[in-house]
């Protein structure tokens, strides 16, 4: 009798009462797949290796996957991260354990790009200020001329990074008739040319952008890449938007720049520490729009991420290389290849 292909889901996919945390994540394809068993793990952060000893796959939400999370059995073959960020996962530990780490770029590409557009329109249209004015009645209406918005035609939209999400943002911004610039040492020149993006230096990006968006992953190289020096290069009328990862921006430096009105404003869906301390000074500023690392959270986003993770897990079960593998070097490791071959023989 063939042993089942066992799939673990991190405990944060379920509420304390046992109901799904995110009902739009459709688990039906996993439940109905032949030879598959699934189980929700007890909450632990980071996950413990002993929790995963008897599992072939893990679908991971917000919990960390650290070196101590790798089970000693060697059975675990894939960690499917729910989303595109993987700074909560020790990639080297996955590779050493012959575990493929997968992310869901197709699931987040449009939802995160929409989030950026939301920030662009809200900031330049002075939406938060005008909401307050409208609630003040006649006095607020009388003051509306003091809070003129900013038109987008001819303005320069810049992006630090022009990968999956950055490219989608530019595509969506086409009707605004803006100029597009980006700094990304890994950019595909053909993609940039097709969209109409001018690839520029880091200094040019910060100096020229009227709206500067952060669309790069968090790495040791990008941590605090948006620092006091570079923020000081920005126009006084410019806006900064970060929907990527908080530590890419030096938040203390940004807070100081915003407090001193050195730039016009910011839109942040991410923070250096999440959640931020209740007394964090950035929470008191009136020229920043904030969201709790959830602006892209929609029914479609979670359905898309979930479907991508389920596909990745079932591809491994069938002995195929899944989409969205981060640690591509694992695909050449003998241990991982042996796992895929074994699954292919068992479940095809």
Which candidate in 274, 328, 329, 341 is catalytic?
A: 274
> Quick one: which H or E segment has residue 132?
helix 127-134
Nearest to 166, CA basis, from 115, 206, 233, 208: 115
CA distances (Å), 162 to each of 43, 88, 200, in order? 36, 22, 12
232: Cα within 13 Å, side-chain hemisphere: 4
CA pair distance 92, 56, nearest whole angstrom: 19
Q: Are 30 and 9 in contact (CB under 8 A)?
A: no
Residues with Cβ within 8 Å of 176's Cβ and at least 6 positions away in sequence, in order, are 152, 153, 157
Active site residue 293: yes
Strands 197-199 and 179-183: parallel
DSSP label of 143: T
Active site residue 147: no
> Quick one: which H or E segment has residue 336?
helix 334-347
Question: Mapping DSSP to helix (H, G, I), strand (E, B) and coil, where does residue 248 land?
Answer: helix
Which candidate in 6, 293, 311, 315 is catalytic?
A: 293
Active site residue 53: no
CA pair distance 73, 92, nearest whole angstrom: 18
Q: What is the dihedral of CA 69, 103, 109, 198, to 10 degrees?
A: 100
CA pair distance 112, 116, nearest whole angstrom: 6
Which candidate in 63, 81, 208, 245 is catalytic?
A: 245
**Phi and psi, residue 330, nearest 5°:** -65, -25
Q: Which residues are catalytic?
A: 245, 274, 293
């Amino acid at each position: 009798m063939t042993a089942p292909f066992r799939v673990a889901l991190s405990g944060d996919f379920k509420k304390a009462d046992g109901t799904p945390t995110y009902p739009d994540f459709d688990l039906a394809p996993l439940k109905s797949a032949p030879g598959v068993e699934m189980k929700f793990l007890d909450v632990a952060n980071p996950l413990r290796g002993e929790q995963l000893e008897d599992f072939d796959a893990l679908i991971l939400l917000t919990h960390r996957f650290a070196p101590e999370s790798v089970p000693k059995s060697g059975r675990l073959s894939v960690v499917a991260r729910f989303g595109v960020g993987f700074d909560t996962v020790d990639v080297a530990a996955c590779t050493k354990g012959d575990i493929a780490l997968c992310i869901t770029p197709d699931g987040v590409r449009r939802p995160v790009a929409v989030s950026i557009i939301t920030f662009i329109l809200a900031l330049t249209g002075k939406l938060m200020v005008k909401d307050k004015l409208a609630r003040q009645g006649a006095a607020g209406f009388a003051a509306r001329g003091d809070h003129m918005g900013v038109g987008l035609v001819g303005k320069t939209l810049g992006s630090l990074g022009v990968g999956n999400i950055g490219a989608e943002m530019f595509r969506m911004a086409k009707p605004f008739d803006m100029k597009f610039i980006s700094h990304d040492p890994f950019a595909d020149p053909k993609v940039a040319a097709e969209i109409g993006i001018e690839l520029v230096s880091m200094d040019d990006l910060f100096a020229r952008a009227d709206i500067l968006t952060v669309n790069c992953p968090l790495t040791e190289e990008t941590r605090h890449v948006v620092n006091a020096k570079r923020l000081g290069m920005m126009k006084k009328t410019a806006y900064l938007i970060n929907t990527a990862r908080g530590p890419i921006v030096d938040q203390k430096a940004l807070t100081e720049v915003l407090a001193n009105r050195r730039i016009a404003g910011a839109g942040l869906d991410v923070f250096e520490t999440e959640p931020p301390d209740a007394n964090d000074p950035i929470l008191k500023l009136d020229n920043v729009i904030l969201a709790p690392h959830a602006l892209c959270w929609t029914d479609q986003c979670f359905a898309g991420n979930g479907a991508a993770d389920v596909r990745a897990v079932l591809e491994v079960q069938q002995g195929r290389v899944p989409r969205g593998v981060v640690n591509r070097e694992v695909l050449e490791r003998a241990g991982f290849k042996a796992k895929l071959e074994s699954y292919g023989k068992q479940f095809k």
